[in-house]
Every structure is written in structure tokens, then in C-alpha cells.
Structure 1
Amino acid sequence: MSEQPETRTAASAVVSYLLVVVAVATAAAGVVAGLSSPPMSWITCLVFLLSVGVTAVYQMPIGRVTGLPPFGVAGALLVVGTTGPNPVLEVGLWSIAYFISRVVTTRALWMAAQWTGVAAIGGIGFVALSRLLIGLGWWAPLALVLSVLAYMLIVLGLEFLRERGRWSIEHTFGLSALSPWRLLGVLAMCSGVAIAVYVSSTGLLGVVDGSADELRLARETIPLLVVALLFYGAAKRRQTRDSERRLSGVVDAARALPWDVQQDPKETMVEFARRAIDAAEFDVRRRPPGRNEIGARFSPINATDPQLTPESMAPDDEVTEEHQEDAVEPTEYLVASRKNGGAPFTPDDELALDAIGHIASETARVRGAYDTLLDRVDRDSLTGLPNYNAFQRSLSRLNEDRSYASGIAVLFIDLDQFKRLNDTEGHHIGDEVLSTVATRLRASVRPHDFVARVGGDEFVVVLTKLQSLAEAKAVADHIVANIGAPAMLGGREYRPLVSVGLAYSGHQETDPQSIVVDADHSMLAIKKSRRQGGPSFESSIGISPHRSSRINEIVAKAIDDGTLNVVYQPIVNTLEDKIWAFESLVRYTHPELGRISTSSLIEKAKGLGRMDLLTKQVIEASLKAAREFRKIVPGISVMTINLEVEQIRDEHVGAFLKDIVPRYPDVSLCLELNERSTKDIDDDLRAQAEHFRQLGMLIALDDYGSEASSVGALVRIPMDILKIDRSLVDNLDDTRQREVVRALQGFGDAFDYSTVVEGIETQDAVDVLVGIGVRHAQGFFYGRPVPFAQTMSRLKAYGPAGTVTRATPVTGSGIRVG
């Protein structure tokens, strides 16, 4: 059963009182011993007190992390108690000097008394052991080293008990936070000082000219003064470094203004505080700092994310009285804390932390004011939606941020007969209609879509993360149906009527404004059809024919002219970290429209009846590239290309493969058959696949694990390589994912398949896969798909190395497939 907090608190209090009693008793015993025995020279006493006090200022860290108690060299001066005639007096004087030094440096009387108690117990052990060993005839330096070690063990043991053994890096029971090398350094330094003082004070360095009293005084004081001056200088140098660190942290915080708006200001504040102050932990909380802590008030006033999103552009939420009070008064603290036994914070630490907290508060205030102004500038006051300016920025961002496979669509929405409604019913009814439509739009779109009001009765919706035009049309139908629901306005039922133009984009646009223009033209075509006798009493959606037909023409011409580019991504042996194969992928960037997504490119090629031609071009380009790759790295002998299982028939690509592959006997061509396409495989296709294997080609089952993959796919077609889809390794912290991959690797080993895991992006993922037996991987961690020229440059610079020291860029010219 764990110890209750109340019990721990009571026990800690008892220990603290006992340590204070030890400190007081030791000092008192020293005073009594001094009064009842022949006194030391007052000069010697003064020098001894001064030397211990000054030397105690110098403290050295002993842990790998902040929070463990530092260790000083002052304990080495207890050697005076070893050589002197009155050890009780000398230990007592040492304790008094140590206590005064700790009070002056920490301004914590009670904590200084506790530390003095711990040090006094260690000092008693040091003097008792050293006098005993030297009295028994031990070699003095060895006796002093053992006594210093005993002193350290006693002090560290007591501090360990006070901390209840929580000396691990995770602040749990253990010793992992201790640094053995630093402890050895402290032991060596303390032992060296003790031996030096002992040798000097006992006259082992020779005799100097002068009277006996002068000689004794010199022996007693000069070593102490030298040690004091030496470590006083070291302490001041450390204080200077600490001051420089504090100043640097505060200056860095000021120079970084304005802080990164993408990052939480609290995280930024803690980051700069960590640079300025040596502390075990930092926290931002509502509770003020407590014992062994310092804090600065932080006012997170209006510290919001200024990024313009549909959520941030929603109407203002109701502000409660409590929130208003929080916006005026600082309610949080930036707190730095140390363990009980650690060195205390200094006033300079508090000033530095307060400065960083003040900078953070001012940053939050200015950012909040900026956000408020930006919100007012970019928001339509009537509906609370983003306005035209905000829409333009968001469209550009959404166009740039989407991936290859992600489409977007623009809906240009116009309220029909709105001017007549304003003229007949009044502008107040018109305003209600606009507000109602805005509310319904906001409720109809998905979380990642965007809504704006761009004109008097015009709205725009940007649909994102689309896979096809059909999906965009389905979402648009849902939106229009919600808008057209009846509404009671001014005591009368009103059914909003809209004309909607839809323009779909399956690729990243060079000029995203062209999508808006196409959507606007489609909307105007709907309105024109109404005027020419089209449907007048129902909402309509017009789809832009211009974009779809234009992309078809572009893709058809690119394939016919052979202007598509092939890029290559390495496949790596994870155990040897060597490339053994490349996968060939097709890319196309139009001079005006920009990049066309691979999925859109393939879809268009199929629809245009040019998929086989495209595949043949990729095969030929890949085999030519492989021959060049092998001239640099002979070990790279495999090129993989993607195709569907139906394409291996002779009437599609099969005959072409049988003709071209024998021309490249030094290259193994691997056909990656999509797992979804193998569902309808027949005996002829299986026989064709076996024939290809006899010709030296390899067969791979691609994308296994995506969507509704079945176990049957593993036995439908003969294969040599099993490629596991990235969706099965997107969270390798999940035990289930690891076990699935382990099982598939075991299946591959049992049937002599090479198993390749796709989508690897980090070293951590590689380590996990290696741990469960995976020997082959592919993903951005090893390299993005890049054109031929850049692949050649990589091989020339790094050879077959799977992991390179610099990122390989994605842009550039590649081998054309024609």
C-alpha cells in the first residue's frame, strides 16, 4: 500500500526538525568546546570561517538532469578538524560558516539550517574517520580520500532518504539521474583540496623562515586562503555564466517577437524559460508557486489562433461574466520548480522568469488585439461568415495544402429573386433571409469545408478532401436541399431559391481563381436558363463542363506525346540499410494548370482508353533507367511498376512485356498488381502470371491491407513480393498493428515471399519494424519519389545507402515516358 500524503508530510517535517536540531547542536558544541579549551588564534578562526563560507558558495551538479542536490568543495576544509587539536571546535566552526554561507546565498533560513544539519553529520563522519585512520598509521592521503568518500556517501544518502529515493530521470524511485562521472569529479576535487590543505598545514612542504608562531599561523591560514580565493573565483565565474544564460534567454524571447502564431504562446513561453533558467520542471497553471518554486504571472488575454478557418470565423460565442473577468485579470502562472534537495532559485532567476512572463503576456495581448482587428476586417458583419478577402486567402491555402489525391470544388451560390424580395418585403426581411441561408450553409458543410459571403446575395463554398466530381455533386445536392427548406420570416413562409455553379479540380491549380471563374460561369448559365424558360421554382446546380473536358484533352495529349514524367522511389533492405529496388511512378505538371494528381491522371487515362499506352511508356522508361542505375550501383537490379491484373493479358500489355523484358537481361522487372484488381482473376491470368515469372519477372501484390483487403487475395495469384499498405503501419504504437504486420511477415517467410512495408516516414517506425522481423521497407524516410536525374545524383553521392544525410528535393525534370 502506498504511503498517504499526510503521513509523508508529517515524516518530512520530523526529518526537517531533526536536521535543524543537529545543525544547532553541532554549532553549540563547537562554541562550548572553544570556551572550555585553549582557544585557537583569532586570526586562524577568522580565516577558517571566511574560507568555509566563501568555498561553500561553489556548488557542482551531480545529476544528468536538474533537480538533484549540488555538491560543494567546502567539505574538504574539514581536514582542519583532522589536523587540529580540538576537532569538536573545528567541526562546530565549520558548521557555523556553512550555515551563514547558505543563508546569504539562498535567503532561506529554514532550508539553510536543514542543509547544515545534513552537512554536519557528514562532517562528523569525515573528521572521525580521518583521525582514526591516520592514528592507526594509514597513509594520510589514502585516509583523506576514504574520509571524503564517507562524507559524500553520508550526505548523498541523507538527501536520497529525504527525497524518498526519487532520483531517477522519471522522478521515480531509482538512481538513473545520478551522473557517475560527475560524482567521480567531485570526489577527485574534494580529495585533492583535502590532501593539499593537509600537506601544507602539517609542514610536509618544507620550512619557511620566521618564528615558530609565524610559521604555525602561515601553515594554518595560507592554504585556507588559497582554497577560498580559488573557489570564490570559480563560483563567480559560474554566476557569470548563469547570468549570461538568464540574459540570453530573455533576449532570445524578445528577439523572437512576434512569436510564431502557429505555436501555443504557453509552449513558446516555457521554451524560452527553459533556456534562461535551470529548473527541473516548468508548468503553466492557475495555482501560484509553492515551496522550491518561483513563478511569474501570465495573462493569456485573447490568445487565440489567428489562422482563418470556418470555425474561427463563426459568430461570437456568448461571453460569460467569468470569462470577462479572466480576460481582465491574469489567472495563470509560469512556474519553475526544483526538488527539495536541489540548489535554490536566486533572485536573478525570479527576475528572468518574470521578464519572460511579462513578454508572453504582452505578446498574447497584442496577438489578441490583432486577431480581433483581423476578425473584424475579414468577417461579414451581418452573417458572421468570412468575406471576400478571407475567401481569397483561404482558397489559395486550401489549393496549396492538398495532397496529390485530394480534389476540391467551388460552389458559387446566388439567391434568386432577392432584389424583388428586398423591394417588396423590406431590407429587414432580406437581412433575415441572408442570415438564415448563412446559418444553413454553415450547418450543411463538413468540418473541413469553407463557407463565405462574397457579395450582397452571393455565397461561396469550398469543398475539400474530395475523391471525385460525383462526390462533390452529392455534397452540393445536400447543401442545396438544406438551403431550400421552408422558413418563417415576418410571419410568412419563405423558401429560398438558389442557382449554384459547381467547378471541380482534381489537381493543384497554378491559378486557383480559375476554379471560381468556372463556377461563376456555370452559375450564370443556370440564371440565364431561368430567364429563357428554364425551371423557375426550384434550385439548380450547374456543373462546369469546361474544366473536365480541358483536363481530358491535356491528359490525352500528354500521353500521346510522351511528355509525362517517371519518378523513382527506393525500396530498402532495413537490416543492411541498402537500396535494392526502385518503384516507378508517373507524374505530370501542366505549364498552366499545375500538378495533376496521380489518381486523376490514371482515372483520365482509363476513361480515354490510353491506360495501356501509358503503362508501356512507364515500363520502357523504367528499364532504361534501371540500366543506368546499375552502372553506378550494380546491386540495384529490380524495378517495380504498377498495373492492374487485367493488363497482363496479351491484348493489353502482356505481349509488350514478353517482347521488351528479354532485351534487359540484367534487370528484374516486378509487376505490382493492385490488390483490389485481383478479385476477379481467372485461370488464364494465373497462367500468364506464372509464365512471366518463368521469363524472370517478379509478381508483387500491392496495397495489401488497404480498404477491405481479404485473406483470399494472398492466394489468388502467384507472387514473389507482398507489399503491405501504409494504412497498416500508420500507428505502430498500437499492438494490434504490430501483430498484424508480424503475422504477414511470418506468412511471407513461410512461403518465401519478400515482404515490403510501405509508408515508412521515421526512424522510430524502422526500429519497430526491424524488431518484429521486417527486412524491407519503402517510404519518405528513405526518399521521396524523384526524377531520373536526381536519382542518379543520389546514387553517385551516396551509393546504395538507404538513409542519406540530407533531404532529396522533389522538384526537377525527369525522364519522359515517350
Structure 2
Amino acid sequence: MMVRLARATPRYLVFVASALLLVAYLGALAAATPWPALADDGVLILLTIVGAGLSAGVRVPVSSIAPAVHLGIVAALLGAAAPEAPGPALLLAWSVGVIIGLVLFWGPTPRVVETGAAIALGGLPYLLVWRAVTAAGLPDVLACVLATAAYVVVRLAIPVAACVVRGSALGEVLRSLSPGRIATAALANVVLTMVARAAGGALENLVVELTAPQIATIVHGLVGTVALAIVVRAEAIAGRVRLDAVLAAARQLPWPEQADDFALAREYAAAATGADEVRIAQERTTRSSELSAAVRAPGEDERFLVVTRRRGRPPFRSDDARALEAVASMATETLRVGRQVRDLRAEARTDPLTGLPNYHEFQSAVRRANETRLPGRGIAVLSIDLAGFKAVSAQHGRDFADRVLQVFAERLRGSVRPSDTVARVGDDEFGVVFHDLADRADAELVAGRLLHAAGAPFTIDNTVLALTVTSGLAYSAEREEDPGRLVRDAGDRSFTAPGVSLVGGQAWSVVTPLPEGVVTGSDLSRAIRESIDSSDFGLAYQPIVDNVMGTAIGLEALLRCRPHGFGDVSPTLVVHEARRLGRLDALTGRILERVHADAASFRELAPDLDDVHVNVEVDQVLGSELRETIRALRAEHPGTRLTLELTENSLGRTSDAVMDGLQELRELGVVFALDDFGQAYSTMLAIVEFPFDVLKIDRALIRDLSAQKTQHVIRSLALLSRKLNVRMVVEGVETIEERDRLARLGVRYMQGYFFQRPVDADVLRGLLRERGASVPNATRPDLVD
């Protein structure tokens, strides 16, 4: 409010000063007028009022910054009527006519007072100079020139002073004046005066009822009428041009999108205001020669359309300002609608949870990559699936799972090159488009780096979580007729990064809470790597019991890892990191070495306890390193029977080479167990196709042993195992009720906390010294057929 008041105060002062000056001036003229003597000059006075009113609206702008600084032809009327009428009466009539004409032309506005005062006061020096020159016997034409010059000086001085009061610099205002326009306007007044006087003199004898000054006044009035008509017509045309420009802009709403959001705004603003230059500014202009209007783009700072006319052109008027405001308003609306449209398009192409492109946009990215590829360069599509992600959601809740997806998506986004595209294409599926590849080896290298980074553990809510991914890679060396084939092939073909296995095993692992001060999973990852390299890990053993004989028939070795500065870390997380870092075979080899050494000491205390179980990944049998380690250990410890437990999920990656590797290990005396059967969507195909000696049933299958369906499944599996000569072991037995129910269903071999929790080798040796291979709670031979 204070700013508006500060701006309004100079204008108010100018208006008040002009009004007081005008009233005082007219009052002085009225006081000096000999009213009784005006009877003989009534016609001339009347004609003066009419002529002044008609010609007051004719104006020639002479300043490029101040519309109020202008000249017209109304001064010529004083020269036409000067010889006869009394000075005060003539000036009063002329001033009143000017005021009336301005009111009719502009309406009762403050500028009528300001302009009327300047014109009226300019008439006084005009008349005084005229009569002084003619009194000296000099020619009328000289009197006309000098009088006009005096009028112009006063007429311009008053509005210039008003501009200075309003805040414009005097030098700026003076520089804005156009000498050519001033001279033209002055010359027009001189010519019109002399023509009107000449016409009055020539027609005086023909029109006996009128005097020469009266005829001259009439001629001036006619000329003024014509000039006024021309002015009105010109302004109407200018107004029509402005209106047409604004309507043209309105008809185009919403304006089409362009690279430059303000290109059309500048174009329409120039057409609507007749500007020579239009620019976009950060602040509203303060120059009197310019107009500005605010444009408000959503979410951005206010900017301004600023229009400028070159020097010598008429200044902007209020109609121009209104036209510019209309264009700016349309620009604002266009930017708002454009932002909404872009947001809607982005929402249609973007996954709302991760902010990545969605499946539809991913397909578009594949098409664009195919169409814009450089000659001789290839593209590739990588599919990434978070195996077992539903387990994360089931254990931690959907909100936690959503955050996992967000963190994983951000990791993918930060691991690709700027030219590549990462998208979320399913609930737990992602896709990547690689550009500008030299060959397939280049594609595998880039994809491998991405997968290596994606598999690293990360921290959410003080929980370290590691995700296992499966992936497929499709490479294209030449432009494809059907780029969608790449997406399909990537989903069908498995891919393992060179030197780094990122598939198989548990889908996720956690260690919580983190030690104080640890804020990311990278610290834990580094600690796990150091533990593997230095063999700084432990083993715990849990017996596999014969519920008929009440003894342990085997031991499962379970990894225990407590990196320096951390608590117990989940074995699946350790295995995940070992796999991601290419150290899984090394870890497994060291576990096997320790297991065989421990097993030898166990046999000394329980000679029949010669079977040890170790978990491995099925794709590890492809590597010669693990096979050579097992070969050496079998030779060194022939009395130990080694059982390798393979998860059912990992069997999906078997091949002829894997089967050959399994057979080679079997020839070395290795026994195989199918682990975690029933954990997910198990099939009997695994039991039939693969050479297993032991079938281990996951606890997930016995959670509801009271259900008839569960009992039928367990009884059928037990019967099938005996028919196939496969030993069936049920894991996760925790209560006596579960033990007894399983026994009644024909299950002989069991494993779980009910019999014994996993213990380290020293504790187990103490138990073996105390009771041999016998196991408490495993003494129900009467319940097994």
C-alpha cells in the first residue's frame, strides 16, 4: 500500500496543481473580460468555442515516452480570431472550447485538466506575442511564427515539468522530444492560421454578414473537423489493429508448444502494441519509453513482457498497455495449461512410485533408440527382475517394499550413462536401454557394471537389505524392423555379468539393527568382503535326526559371520555379497575345508556320524575351482560323506553342462540333497529329473499340519520318497506336536530347534563326548510304520 501511495502522490500533485492553475487562470480571464462589450463579438466568441472544441482532439505526439506531451492545431484558431475580439474574452472562449473538446474526446478524466491547463496557458503568450508583433508594424506571418513558437514553448514546458514531477529525468524527457514532429506541428499551425486569415479576407466581401475573423474561424473549424475526423479514424484503425492482434492471439489459445515458451507471446505483443522490440525481463521496466506486463509461469519467478518503440515514434498509450496486459494474461494461461499438459503427459509416461519411465515409455525408448542409432553402433535391452521380492513385502510390509523399489530405482538411475534409459516395467521388474554400443561384448560389459552396482546392499530404516536379481540381455547390431523383439528377447534370455554371478539364492537378506554410526550398506559390504578374504567366519552345526533310532545321522553346516564392528549378519546376505563380488567359490571352498576338518574330529567321538551337509549354488558346479577343491578334500578325508544341498529355485538354471558337473561330483562320492522343497511353487519335476539322494522339506509346507490337505501332501511325499529310495527330511520342526504328527504321517528324518539348535564345533564335540550321536526328543519309533 505504501508503494502504491508513493507512486500515486506525484500524479496527485500534478493533477491538483493543474486544476488550481487552470481555475485561477480562467477566473482571471473571466474577471478581465468586459462582459457588456461582448455583444458585438458574440458570434466570434461562439465560433471560437466551437472551433476550439472541434480541433482540441487533434494532437501530434512529440515525445517517445510521454503521451501527454503533444501538440495540435488549436493554437491556429487564436491567430485566425486575434485581430477583433478582446484578448481576455477570446482566451476565455478559446480555453473553454478546448476544455469542452477534450471532455468530449477523452471523457472527464484527470488528463483533461492537465492537458487543458497546458493548452490554455499556452494561449496567453501566443496572443501577447501576436499583438506585440503586429503593433510594431511587422507582417502577420512573422507574428504568426513568433506567436506559435511562444505557444509551443509554454505548451511543452508544462507537461515536461509534470513528467519530471512524476519521476522522469529531465534529460530523458528532453531527449525523447522529436524536433521534426515539433516543427511539423508548429508549421501546421502557421500554415493553417495564414490560410484561414487569407480565406477570411478573400471571402469577406462575398459573405457580407460575416467578418474576416469570423470566416477565418469557420475555416479553421472546418479544417479542425476534418483533422479530427482523420485523427479519430486513425485511432480507430489503430484500435482495430490492436483488437485484431489480441483476437488472433485469443483464437490460437492454447498456443501451440514451442521450444521457446515466450516466442508467441513476443510475436503477439509486438502486433498488439505496434512495438519495434519485445523482450522478456526479470523485472518490470521503469523506463517511460517502454511498457511491461507480468507473465506468471507455474512454479517459476514472475517475468515480464517488455515492449519498446524506437526513438521518433509516438509513445505508447493506455490502449497499448491494456492490449499488452491481455497478451500477457493469455501467455500466463498458456504456460499454465502447457505445464498441466506436460505434467499429464509425464504422469502417463512415468511410474508414480519410482519416478522412472513406465512400460509404455520404455517401449517408446526402445523404438527411439532403434531409429536414431548411429551407423555401425548397436543397442541393447536389459531386463532386471527382483527375484522373490514378494517375500520382502510379506515380511516388512508394503510401505517398506515401496521404499526398497524407490532406492533400487535410484541406484539404477545413478548407474547408467546419460544416454541410456532406465524404466520400471512391472511390479518388481525393470528395463534398461543401452545406446551407442560397439558390439555385444561392449553391451555385456556395460550391463555387467550396472548389475554389479545394483546388487550391492543398501540401508532402509536401519536395515541392510540385499536384493538378488535375475536378468536378460538382448543385443542388436543393426536396425530392427520390429524393435519390440528386443524387449521380448531380453525377457526370455538369461544373462550373467562376466565374472559376477547375480542370480540364484535367497532373494533378500537383512541385518538389523546396524551398529551405531553405520549409515549405509557399503560399510557392511566392505566388512563382509574382508571377512571372506581373511576366513573370518564361523560354522554352526545342526543335527539331522532319525526319529526311530533317536540318533543323529548327519549334520548341516550353517554359515555364521560376525564382521568386525558388526553383530551377526544373515548368512544369505554374506552369500549374496560373495556372489556379487565374485568370491562365492572361494567362500564355499573355505567352508568345505573347515567342514571336513571338523567332521574328522566328530567321527572320533561318534564314528557313525560321517555325513555333513553344505549349501551350494547349482551354477557353482560349472566352475573347475569348486570341483578341484572337493576332489582334493575327498582324497584327504575319505571317511567323510559330503552332501551338497541345492535349492529348488537354482535348478531353473541347469543345463547339460551342469548335469555333467553333478555327475562328475557324484562319481567322487558326493551326495546331493534337494533343499527348501515347498518353499515356493515346488513341482515334482525336480524330484524326477535330478539325481537327488535326499529331499529336504521346507518348514513352509508344515506350518498347518492340522489341515487335511497338508497331511495328504506330507504322507504322499513320504511314500514317494521311499519308492524312489530317497531320504526325506522335514526341516523346521519346533514342537513335540509337530514331531508326533509328522511321525504319524510316515516321516522318519527330521531337523529343527525341537531337537537341537545349531551350535559351533566345540560345543558339538562336548555334546558328542557326553552322549554320542543320540539326540534327545527323537525317541518315537512306535509312531513310524
Shift of 1:387: 1.5
Partner letter of residue 466 of structure 2? Answer: R
1:275 lines up with 2:271 in the alignment: yes
1:459 and 2:430 correspond: yes
Q: Which amino acid aligns with 2:253?
A: L
Matches within 5 A, 1:579-658: none
How many angstroms does 1:259 deviate by? 0.7
| Contact persistence 1:30–1:92 (CA under 8 A) | yes
**TM superposition shift of 1:16:** 5.1
What is the match of residue 195 of structure 2? 196
The aligned runs of 1:144-155 (5 Å cut-off) are 144-155=144-155
Contact kept in structure 1, 2:81 and 2:216, CA below 8 Å: no
Q: Quote the residue 1:483 is aligned against.
A: 454
Counterpart of 2:142 in structure 1: which amino acid? L
Equivalent position to 2:232, from 236, 239, 249: 236
Partners of 1:58 and 1:394 in 2: CA distance = 65
The 3 A distance-change label for structure 1 pair 374 and 5 is: closer
For 1:30, the aligned partner's letter is L
> Following superposition of structure 1 onto structure 2, how do residues 431-446 of structure 1 map, counting pairs within 5 Å?
431-444=402-415
Query: How has the CA–CA distance of structure 1 residues 59 and 371 changed in structure 2, closer, same or farther, with 3 Å as cutoff?
Result: same
Task: Give the counterpart letter for 1:156 in structure 2.
Answer: L
- Give the CA deviation at 1:414: 0.6
The one of 417, 428, 452 equivalent to 2:387 is 417
CA contact (8 A) 1:411 1:476 kept: no
Tell whether 2:495 aligns with 1:527.
yes
Q: Residue 140 of structure 1: CA displacement?
A: 1.9
Q: Deviations over 1:103-158 (max 9, x none)?
A: 44444643322222222333222222222223223332233233323322333344
The one-letter amino acid paired with 2:235 is Q
Residue in 2 aligned with 1:54? 54
**CA drift at 1:495:** 1.4
Q: Report the alpha carbon displacement of residue 240 of structure 1 after superposing the two structures with TM.
A: 1.7
In structure 2, C-alpha distance between the alignment counterparts of 1:410 and 1:399, rounded to whole Å: 10
Shift, 1:374, TM fit: 2.3
Distance 2:107 2:241 in 1: 22
Question: Match of 1:100, as an amino acid?
Answer: I
Distance 1:445 1:529 in 2: 15
Which secondary structure does the structure 2 equivalent of 1:214 belong to? coil
Instruction: State the alpha-carbon separation in 2 of the partners of residues 476 and 387 from structure 1.
Output: 20
Q: C-alpha displacement at 1:215, in angstroms?
A: 4.0
Q: Does 1:34 align with 2:33?
A: yes
> Is the Cα–Cα contact under 8 Å of residues 415 and 496 in structure 1 kept in the other structure?
no
One-letter amino acid of the structure 2 residue matched with residue 381 of structure 1: P
In 2 relative to 1, CA 228–387 (structure 1 residues): closer, same or farther, beyond 3 Å? same
Q: CA deviation at 1:242?
A: 1.9
- Give the structure 2 partner of residue 71 of structure 1: 71
| 8 A contact 1:250–1:355 mirrored in 2 | yes
2:467 counterpart SS class: coil
Query: Which residue number corresponds to residue 116 of structure 2?
Result: 116
Amino acid at match of 1:382: L
Of the three residues 250, 254, 268, the one matched with 1:254 is 250
Q: Quote the Cα distance in structure 2 between the aligned partners of 1:197 and 1:124.
A: 20
Distance 1:239 1:383 in 2: 59
Distance 2:378 2:137 in 1: 90
User: Does the CA contact (< 8 Å) of 1:81 and 1:87 recur in 2?
Assistant: no
Q: 1:465 to 1:181 in 2, by over 3 A?
A: farther
Measure the CA separation in 1 of the matches of 2:35 and 2:223.
30
The code of the aligned residue for 1:142 comes to L
Counterpart-to-counterpart distance in 1, 2:136 and 2:71: 30
Distance in structure 1 (CA, Å) of the matches to 2:191 and 2:211: 23
Deviation (angstroms), 1:51: 2.0
Q: CA deviation at 1:237?
A: 1.0
- Root mean square deviation, CA, Å: 5.7
Give the drift of 1:481.
5.3
Distance 1:283 1:108 in 2: 35
Q: What is the CA–CA distance in structure 2 between the aligned matches of 1:81 and 1:470, rounded to whole Å?
A: 102
Task: Tell me how far 1:466 sits from its aligned partner.
Answer: 11
Structure 1 residue 224 and structure 2 residue 194: aligned? no
Question: Aligned residues: percent identity?
Answer: 25
1:269: how far off?
4.4
User: Relative to structure 2, which stretch is displaced further, 356-365 or 432-441?
Assistant: 356-365
Contact 2:393 2:401 (C-alpha < 8 Å) held by counterparts: no
Distance in 1 of aligned mates of 2:372 and 2:52: 65
Question: Which amino acid letter does the alignment assign opposite residue 22 of structure 1?
Answer: L
Judged with a 3 Å threshold, the aligned counterparts in structure 2 of structure 1 residues 263 and 521 are, in CA distance, closer, same or farther, namely closer
Distance 1:55 1:366 in 2: 49
Write the distance in 1 (CA, Å) between the matches of 2:174 and 2:376: 52
2:159 aligned residue: 159
SS at match of 2:423: strand
Task: Choose 350-359 or 429-438, whichever is displaced more.
Answer: 350-359
**Counterpart Cα distance in 2 of 1:407 and 1:75:** 82
- Inter-CA distance 210–192: structure 2 relative to 1 (3 Å threshold): closer
Contact persistence 2:295–2:305 (CA under 8 A): yes
Structure 2 distance, partners of 1:406, 1:199, is 91
Contact 2:281 2:304 in 1 (8 A): yes
Question: Is 1:102 the equivalent of 2:111?
Answer: no
For the 8 Å contact 2:474–2:493, the answer to whether it is kept is no
Gaps in structure 2 of 5+ consecutive residues: 505-575, 583-785
How far apart are the structure 1 equivalents of 2:415 and 2:389? 25
Q: Distance in 2 between matches of 1:125 and 1:178?
A: 21
Q: Distance in 2 between matches of 1:154 and 1:33?
A: 22
Displacement after TM superposition at 1:23 (Å): 1.8
Give deviations 1:680-736, integer Å, cap 9, x for gaps.
xxxxxxxxxxxxxxxxxxxxxxxxxxxxxxxxxxxxxxxxxxxxxxxxxxxxxxxxx
After superposition, what is the alpha-carbon deviation per residue over 1:2-50, rounded to whole angstroms, capped at 9, x for unaligned?
A: xx99999977766654433332222223323334462164443333222
Task: Give the aligned residue type for 1:233.
Answer: A
Give 1 or 2 for the bigger CA radius of gyration. Answer: 2
Is residue 19–residue 113 contact of structure 1 (8 Å, CA) maintained in 2?
A: yes
Alpha-carbon offset, residue 303 of structure 1? 8.1
Letter in 2 for 1:390: E
Judge conservation of contact 1:106–1:344 (CA < 8 Å) in 2.
no
5+ long unaligned stretches in structure 1 = 305-325, 542-818
Alignment of 1:505-584 (within 5 A): 526-527=494-495, 537=576, 538=579
CA distance in 1, matches of 2:158, 2:442: 70
Give the structure 2 partner of residue 186 of structure 1: 185
Aligned letter for 1:484?
Answer: G
Distance 2:492 2:581 in 1: 11
Answer yes or no: is the 8 Å Cα contact 1:106–1:345 preserved in 2: no
Partner of 2:631: none
Letter in 2 for 1:73: I
Cα deviation 1:397-429 (Å, max 9, x = unaligned): 788899x99999766341342467479759836
Contact 2:56/2:101 (8 A) holds in 1: yes
In structure 2, the residue matched to 1:22 is 21
Distance 1:245 1:419 in 2: 66
Measured against aligned partners, the alpha-carbon deviations of 1:311-366 in whole angstroms (never above 9, x if no partner) come to xxxxxxxxxxxxxxx9xxxx999899999xx98956x6687567546645654554
| Separation in structure 1 between the aligned mates of residue 225 and residue 188 of structure 2, nearest angstrom | 15
Length, aligned pairs only: 502
Deviations for 1:164-197, whole angstroms, at most 9, x for unmatched residues?
49999x9973755444433333233222222222
Distance (whole Å) between structure 2 residues aligned to residue 163 and residue 405 of structure 1: 67
Scaled by the length of structure 2, the TM-score of the pair is 0.51
AA partner of residue 370 (structure 1): V
